[in-house]
Amino acid sequence: MITVTKEAKDILRDYQCPEGTVLCLDSVNRHRQHDGFCVRLGAGLAKGDDQIVEHEGQPLLRIARHVSEELNGGTMDRVETLEGPAVGMRPPPPPGAPPLTDGS
């Protein structure tokens, strides 16, 4: 499970998706390779096994199951960039640390 902070949710709620799509966090490459695990944030189709992140009681973000499993224990948070506030991922805890079980 990936935790999404309130500050990240405040940024994500401003994303506009085309009708019939939802805001999704999904992988660019479905399999780990030597260059790592890459994800993208954007409009996509909901899947039944997605991790659903809510904001103020409404669905805000759907995280593909394999992404949620790969980044289990990670945190999506607000980061500052030269262009202004954005969202970024903090990695999951090191191996052997207990995984998160709730709290998105």
Looking up residue 19, the CATH number of its domain turns out to be 2.60.300.12
Contact of 39 with 13, CB cutoff 8 Å: no
102 falls within a domain: no
49 falls within a domain: yes
pLDDT of residue 96: 74
Give CA–CA dist 56/26, Å, rounded. 23
100 falls within a domain: no
Q: How many domains does the chain have?
A: 1
101 falls within a domain: no
The highest-confidence range among 5-9, 39-43, 70-74, 98-102, by mean pLDDT, is 5-9
Contact of 102 with 1, CB cutoff 8 Å: yes
Range of the domain at 78: 3-90
- For 9-38, what is each residue's pLDDT tens digit? 999 999 999 999 999 999 886 655 556 678
Helix%, strand%, coil% for the chain, nearest 5: 10, 40, 50
